[in-house]
Amino acid sequence: MLSSIKLKFVFVYFLLVFIAMSIVGMFIVQNLEEHQIENVTNNMIYLVETLIGTSSYIADDDWIENREGIQNTILSGLVDSTEALYVIYNEEVPIIIASSTKGYEEIVGKEALHQTFIDPTIVLDAFTGNIANSIVKELNGEAVNRHLAYPVYSNVGKIKGVVYMTSNLENVYDTVEDSKSILTNATVLALIITIFLGYLIATSITVPIRDVTKKAEKMAMGDFDQYVEVKSDDEIGQLASMFNYLTLELKKTIQEMDLERSKLNTIFQYMAEGVIAINIFGSIIHVNPIAMDILDIKEEDLRNGKTIDLKSLNLNNINYGDVSSLEGTELLSLESQVYKIKYAPYKNESEVIGGLIIVLQDITQEHKLDNMRKEFVANVSHELKTPITTIKSYTETLMENDVDKELEKNFLTVINSESDRMARLVRDLLQLSNIDYQKTTWSKSEISINNMINGILEKLEFSIKEKGHKFVVDIQENIPNLIGDNDGIEQVLLNIVSNAIKYTQEGGNIQLSAYNKENDIIIKVIDDGIGIPEKDQERIFERFYRVEKGRSREMGGTGLGLSIAHEIITAHNGSIKLESDFGKGTEITIILPIV
C-alpha cells in the first residue's frame, strides 16, 4: 500500500499529530466538563448552606408548624429558572413540605421518594448525614440536571430533614460542545499543515535517495563511473559521500580482484599438480591442463558439461550432508602411476558448500620408494636375526671366562648393550613387516582399560620414581571394556608412556587419562617435557624418523615405536593423534572403538 518512503513519512507524521491532538483534546474536554460540573455543584452547596444559615424557619426544629414560612423563603427568588429547591421532612415516610417550582401546591405534602424529579438514593444517603449528589437525565432525554441532597440537623443533633436542589447542566454541556468544535477545527487545521510540511520534508529526503538509487542501478549494470552531488552535511549528505567513497573503493577492489584472478589463473594453469573443481552435481567447473592430461579430459567434454564419477577417483564415501566426509586424502592408481588425491569442499559467502576441489599429486616415485623400504625392512630383519643370536651367545660365554675382569666386563657390557639394541630393532622390524603384509594375527578379547593401565604403571614404577615425575592417573569410573588384542594395545600404551617418561625432565608432570565418549574409548597421555617442533609433528609416525637422532639413540630408541603404535591402533580401527608445543610438552590421544 505505502510503497513510497515519501508517503510513509507523511502518513507517520500525520498519524503522530492526529494521535497527539486527539489525546490532548480528550484530556481538555474531559477536564473542562468535570471542572464545570464541579463549579455548579459548589454553587448549589453554597446556595443551600446560605438558605439554611439565613432562614429562621428552617433553623427551627418544628418544620411542620413553619412550613408556610419555609415555603415563602424558598419562593423569595433565591434560585433561577434553571434550578429548583425542595424541602423534605424526615418522617417515617419522608414528605415534601416546600418547593420552589410552579404548581408547588400539587407537590407539597407528597411522598418525596416516589417523585420522578427526585433521586431517592441521594435522599436516603443524605438522611445518613452525607451531602449527596448525582447527575440525572430527565425522562424526556433532553435535559440533564445536577441533583443535590443536603442534610439539615436539629438543635439536638438529629437530621430533621433534607434540602434537595436541582440545577440544569445545559450551559455546561453547551460549553463542552463548543470546546469540542474548537478543538476539532484546530485538529483539522493542524493536520492540513502537517501534511504540507511532511510532504516538503519527505521530498527533501527522498530526492537525494532517488538520485543515489538511480546511480546504484547503473553501477549494478556495470557502469562504476558514478558520482552523487553532496548538497548538505546531514545524514543524507553523509549517505551521498559514502556512496561516492564506495564507488571509488569498489573500482579499486575490482581492479585488485582482476589482478588476483589473473595470478590465480596463471598458477592454476602451470602448477605441477592436477586440480579439478566440481559442483555438488559432479559437473566440472574448472580443470587445469595437468588434470585434463591425467584424466584424459578433452575441451569438447568441458563444453558438453562433462561430469566426474568420484568413485573413479577412489572417492567412495562423499556425502554432501556429512561435512566430515568432504575432506581427506586417498590414493589412486591409474595404469602405472600412483596419485595422492587430496580433496576439500569450497563454500560461498553464506558458508553453503558449493562442491569439491580435488588435487591430484603424482607420488609414483615415493610409492615405489616406500615399497622398497618395506622390502628392505623385511629382508634386514631376517638377515640380522642370526648374527644377533650369535653375538649374544658368544657374549654370554666370554662373560663366564676367567680373564681380566675389568676390561672383559667393559667390552662385554658394550657388546651386550648393542646386541639388545639390535634385537629390539629386529623385533620392531619384524613386527612392522608382519603388520605391513597383514601377517599379524590379532588375538582379540575383552580388555579392561583399568587393569591394563595399572599393569603398565607397575612395570614403569621404577622409571617414574627414578626421575621424580609427578604422575596423575584419571580413569573414568565404570569405564567400559573394549574388544582388541591385549598385547598389542598394551605395547602401544607402554611405548607412549615410556616416551613421556624419557622426554620429560626430572620432576616433571605426566597425566594419563581414560574415558568413554559415545562408542569410543579415549586415552590421553599429556606431559610437560621437551615437546616436538612443529615441522617434525607431521612426520613423527613415519618409520625411522627421529626428531633428534643422536639423543634418541642415547635413550635407546629405534625410531619405530610410534610407527608400530600407529599401525596397531589403525589395525584396531582406531586413530592416534599428536599435539605438541615445542619446549612445553606433548599430548597424545588414542581413540579406540569399544567393539
Task: Say how far apart CA 548 and CA 582 lie, in whole Å.
Answer: 13
pLDDT of residue 141: 55
CA angle 577, 578, 582 (to 5 degrees): 170
State the amino acid at position 447 in one-letter form: I
The number of residues in the chain equals: 595
The distance of Cα 229 from the centroid of its chain, to the nearest Å, equals 41
Cell of 584: 612445553
Q: Strand pairing of 509-517 and 337-347?
A: unpaired
Cβ atoms of residues 561 and 491 within 8 Å:
no
In order, the DSSP letters of 17-68 are: HHHHHHHHHHHHHHHHHHHHHHHHHHHHHHHHHHHHHH-HHHHSS-TTTTHH
Strands, sheet with 470-475, edge to edge from the N-terminal-most edge strand:
470-475, 509-517, 520-527, 585-593, 575-581
CA within 13 Å, CB half, 450? 8
Cell of 438: 597383514
pLDDT of residue 397: 64
290 or 544: which leads in pLDDT: 290
Fold of 444-593: Heat Shock Protein 90 (3.30.565)
Residue entry with cell 424541602: 87
171 or 386: which leads in pLDDT: 171
pLDDT of residue 381: 65
- pLDDT category of residue 590 using cuts at 50, 70 and 90: very high
Q: Does the pLDDT of residue 551 top 50, yes or no?
A: no
Average pLDDT over the chain, rounded to an integer: 81
Q: Where are the domains of the chain?
A: 6-175, 227-266, 271-362, 367-436, 444-593
Q: Does the pLDDT of residue 553 top 50, yes or no?
A: no
Task: Say how far apart CA 384 and CA 430 lie, in whole Å.
Answer: 11
At 418-467, the pLDDT tens digits run 677 677 777 777 777 777 777 788 888 999 999 999 999 998 998 899 99
At 277-332, the pLDDT tens digits run 888 888 888 788 888 888 778 877 777 777 878 787 878 888 887 877 888 888 88
pLDDT of residue 516: 94
Its pTM stands at: 0.39
184 to each of 174, 197, 401, how far by Cα in Å?
15, 20, 131
Name the DSSP letter for residue 507: T
Q: Does the pLDDT of residue 473 top 90, yes or no?
A: yes
- Helices first, then strands: H and E counts in the chain: 17, 17
CATH code for the domain defined by 271-362:
3.30.450.20
Please state, for a pLDDT cut of 90, what percent of the chain lies above it.
Answer: 19
Task: Say how far apart CA 113 and CA 520 lie, in whole Å.
Answer: 95
Cβ atoms of residues 340 and 358 within 8 Å:
no
Task: Using DSSP, state whether 133 is helix, strand or coil.
Answer: strand
Quickly count: other Cβ atoms within 10 Å of residue 191's Cβ.
Answer: 17
Task: Say how far apart CA 356 and CA 291 lie, in whole Å.
Answer: 14
CATH code for the domain defined by 367-436:
1.10.287
Task: Say how far apart CA 353 and CA 507 lie, in whole Å.
Answer: 50
Q: Where are the beta strands (DSSP E) in 363-461?
A: 444-447
pLDDT of residue 387: 62
Task: Say how far apart CA 491 and CA 435 lie, in whole Å.
Answer: 14
Cell of 448: 579392561
Cell of 442: 590379532
Cβ atoms of residues 492 and 568 within 8 Å:
yes
Cell of 390: 650369535
Cell of 9: 513519512
What top-level class would CATH report for the domain 6-175?
A: alpha beta
Cell of 326: 568432504
Same fold, 271-362 and 444-593: no
